[in-house]
Amino acid sequence: MNAFAQTPETGFRLPDPDFVPEELQMLRAQVRRFVETEIQPHAEAWEEAGEIPRDLFRKLGALGLLGMQHAEDYGGTQMGALASVVFGEELSRSTFGGVTAAITVHTDMSASHLSRVGTPEQKAEWLPRICAGEVVCAIAVTEAGAGSDVAGLRTKARRDGPGEDADWIIDGSKMFITNGVYGDLLIVGARTGGEGARGLSLFLVPRDTPGVSVAQKLKKHGWLSSDTAELYFDNVRVPASALLGGENRGFYAIMQGFEHERLMIGAFSAGEGAKAIELTLDYVRQRRAFGKTIWDQQATRQRLAMLASQVAMVRAMVYQTALALDGGRPVSLETAMIKSTGPEVLHEVVHGCLQLHGGTGYMRGTPIERMARDARILRIGGGATEVMLEEVAKRI
């Protein structure tokens, strides 16, 4: 048995709920094929390079997989949150968290702001190219001193003259920005008013705008194939038309975006967790010790049964919440619960599965070792677990 290669499917795949329509089952099969043919054979090299080829985005765009959050008028397919969950879950089963992150930051965490609060002119300018994979997006909100505390960000934007037609000048820095090194369009959060949440705005800033620079390409513990940047904004001039969603309205747009991001992180937790169990089942049913397979040990069977049950519960809540979101219901409580619980379950799953792989699971080149590294960030990004638990507590 070669534990350093992707192992075959063992059949551990949780069934879709009855409310998942046939078109989304077809979407799942399409994404699964794409992962098998276009991601898994090449992603080890992308991990080494720390970069995903732009052609991958164009291939996704050609299949219509980058436009599920956008209207058909702009090249999208407008399929809703449940479709995004299916998409994210299948991508995460690739075992390459960095690839999943780079793609879904583009589809669900940055460009989605354009569809929600952009003007018709902004949508017409950017969305067709975003849906085609010709323009790759990043969300530039996080700062070194403002992560989960979004209202504390310090990057400033000021009008360069009187009137609403005046240009904006942006000064500041951003940290931990996925797609920030090689992406094309930044959705930038900046302070345009007073302190706190009510003084923030969003701006559309092409990365090649004079004054925007990559201070450093960050080296990470996991997600090695996705590029992550520290960005500087030095006297960056953008037109009045770059304001996205209204002056001092950025915090509310960011919070709305976080709901979808947290839902997607739940989908990643479910997909990657199920894949980790699948890989481990395959391993323990073949690996022998003390005269029998590891699977023949009662402790192994019960441990995997408990982990599989936890993943199934996370997945069920993710799907129910996506259905509610598509139905127009408020889901702030549910997405905070998903974000506070899903990554914690995934952390337990991948480390429990690594343990069952023994020394092999600790070696670079095994999928489970990579998955354990990649899973760690999900307890931090999109709202740290501790912050999310406080959000849950406020709402119960």
Choose the catalytic residue: 261, 278, 344, 391: 261
Task: Pick the closest to residue 159 from 186, 189, 193 (CA basis).
Answer: 193
- Torsion 255-179-227-104 (CA) sign: positive
Specify whether the CB–CB gap between 314 and 345 falls below 8 A: yes
Is the C-alpha dihedral spanning 321, 106, 147, 201 positive or negative? negative
Please report the DSSP string for 365-376 in residue order: TSHHHHHHHHHG
261 included as an active-site residue? yes
158, two tokens? 């000021």
Sign of CA dihedral 331, 334, 339, 342: negative
Asked if 116 contacts 256 with a C-beta cutoff of 8 angstroms, the reply is: yes
CA dihedral 130→382→12→32, nearest 10 degrees, is 10
**Chain CA centroid to CA 373, Å:** 15
Query: CA–CA separation, 341 vs 143, rounded Å?
Result: 25
Task: Tell me which residue has tokens 């925007």.
Answer: 212
DSSP secondary structure string, 133-178?
A: TSS-EEEE--BTTBSS-GGG---EEEESSSSTTS-EEEEEEEEEEE
Question: 202 near 244, Cβ under 8 Å?
Answer: yes
Please say whether the beta carbons of 93 and 271 come within 8 A. Answer: yes
Using alpha carbons, select from 387, 391, 385 the residue that is nearest to residue 332: 391
Quick one: which of 6, 8, 14 has its CA closest to 86? 14
* DSSP for residue 212: E
Measure the CA angle with vertex 294, ends 288 and 296; round to 5°. 110
| Residues with catalytic roles | 261
